[in-house]
A and B are shown apart, each in its own frame.
Chain A
Amino acid sequence: DQQVKQNSPSLSVQEGRISILNCDYTNSMFDYFLWYKKYPAEGPTFLISISSIKDKNEDGRFTVFLNKSAKHLSLHIVPSQPGDSAVYFCAASDSGAGSYQLTFGKGTKLSVIP
Chain B
Amino acid sequence: DARVTQTPRHKVTEMGQEVTMRCQPILGHNTVFWYRQTMMQGLELLAYFRNRAPLDDSGMPKDRFSAEMPDATLATLKIQPSEPRDSAVYFCASGLPLTRSYGYTFGSGTRLTVV
Q: Which residues of A contact B (CB under 8 A)?
A: 32, 34, 36, 41-46, 49, 89, 93, 95, 99-107
Known A99-B56, A101-B48, A105-B42: A44·B31 in contact at CB below 8 Å: no
Known A43-B91, A44-B91, A49-B103: A100·B43 in contact at CB below 8 Å: no
How far is B29's CA from A100's CA once the two chains are assembled, in angstroms?
Answer: 13
Which of B12-20, B78-86, B106-114 contacts the other chain? B106-114
Known A43-B4, A99-B55, A101-B33: A89·B43 in contact at CB below 8 Å: yes
**Contact size range, B:** 20 to 34
Give chain A residues whose Cβ lies under 8 Å from the Cβ of B33.
101-102
How far is B44's CA from A104's CA once the two chains are assembled, in angstroms?
Answer: 7
Known A43-B93, A106-B42: A100·B31 in contact at CB below 8 Å: yes
How far is B56's CA from A32's CA once the two chains are assembled, in angstroms?
Answer: 20
Q: Are the CB atoms of B42 and A46 closer together than 8 Å?
A: no
Q: Are the CB atoms of B102 and A101 closer together than 8 Å?
A: no
Q: Which residue of A lies closest to B47 (CB)?
A: A101
Give chain A residues whose Cβ lies under 8 Å from the Cβ of B56.
99, 101
How far is B35's CA from A105's CA once the two chains are assembled, in angstroms?
Answer: 13
Q: Are the CB atoms of A101 and B42 closer together than 8 Å?
A: no
Known A99-B55, A101-B33: A44·B102 in contact at CB below 8 Å: no
Known A43-B4, A43-B93: A89·B104 in contact at CB below 8 Å: no
Give chain B residues whose Cβ lies under 8 Å from the Cβ of A105.
42
A37 to chain B, nearest CB (A): 11
Give chain B residues whose Cβ lies under 8 Å from the Cβ of A45.
106
> 13 pairs across A/B with beta carbons < 8 Å?
A43-B4, A43-B93, A45-B106, A49-B102, A89-B43, A100-B97, A100-B98, A100-B102, A104-B35, A104-B42, A104-B44, A106-B41, A107-B43
Q: Are the CB atoms of B45 and A46 closer together than 8 Å?
A: no
How far is B103's CA from A34's CA once the two chains are assembled, in angstroms?
Answer: 8
Q: Which residue of A lies closest to B38 (CB)?
A: A106
B87 interface contact, C-beta 8 A: no
How far is B79's CA from A73's CA once the two chains are assembled, in angstroms?
Answer: 36
Chain B 42-81 interface residues, beta-carbon cutoff 8 Å to A: 42-45, 48, 55-56
